[in-house]
Amino acid sequence: MQWSHGKKVCLAAYRPLINLLIRLRVSPNAITITGTLLLFLPAYYIIVGRHVPAGWLILFIGLLDMVDGTIARERNLVSTYGAFLDSILDRFGDFLIYLACFHYSLGQDDKFFPYLIFATLFFSATISYTRSKAESLGYKTTAGFATREARLFVLFWGLTCENLITTFWILAVFTAGTSIYRIVDVMRKIMKK
């Protein structure tokens, strides 16, 4: 499943902001960096147990992450540098939020909870790495359900419902499944040649 329809709806909602940022000539890279820095706030909220505001901030910042690429395309500022920066800072932001969840989990009664977060982080990184490595070898893969956008939405849901243990069970299972599915997808494409 792809989230392209949801992304189009979100971008339509953000259109006034996109237009304002274009008029102000704000750099897409500045938006990328700002969005990453803003993630320290929900990370702090997660650590101190204020999950509802953390969830809403993650949703807002995650949607803002879609804006930088749109602005780059509309202003003809698409660059390899910007794509690389965006990709690296996405991974940094993911790790920061999962690290905050891990820190929070250590104070909870469920001793398996930290392992679910670790599994989610591991498989999330594997999903991204598989796609990146496949592209470097000349193959394309976006297979699987647990795209970054889907993971952020599930995390938003879990934080705002204040049910992180169930959320990380869902994330661990779906990231593992997507990771394996992408690896198999790429290996099939390689073997066909």
Q: Is 172 helix (H, G, I), strand (E, B) or coil?
A: helix
Given a contact cutoff of 8 angstroms between Cβ atoms, the answer to whether 63 and 10 are in contact is yes
d(Cα 90, Cα 174) in Å, to the nearest integer?
A: 19
CATH number of the domain residue 181 falls in:
1.20.120.1760
Q: If you search the block for the tokens 């809403």, which residue do you land on?
A: 56
d(Cα 32, Cα 107) in Å, to the nearest integer?
A: 32
Structural domain harbouring 34: 4-192
d(Cα 64, Cα 70) in Å, to the nearest integer?
A: 10
pTM of the model: 0.89
Record the tokens describing residue 53, joined without a space: 């505001």
- Tally the domains of the chain: 1
Given a contact cutoff of 8 angstroms between Cβ atoms, the answer to whether 16 and 52 are in contact is no
pLDDT tens, position by position, for the chain (193 residues)? 445 555 666 667 778 888 898 999 999 999 999 999 999 999 999 999 999 999 999 999 988 888 888 899 999 999 999 999 999 999 999 999 999 999 999 999 999 999 999 999 999 999 999 999 999 999 998 888 888 888 999 999 999 999 999 999 999 999 999 999 999 999 999 998 7
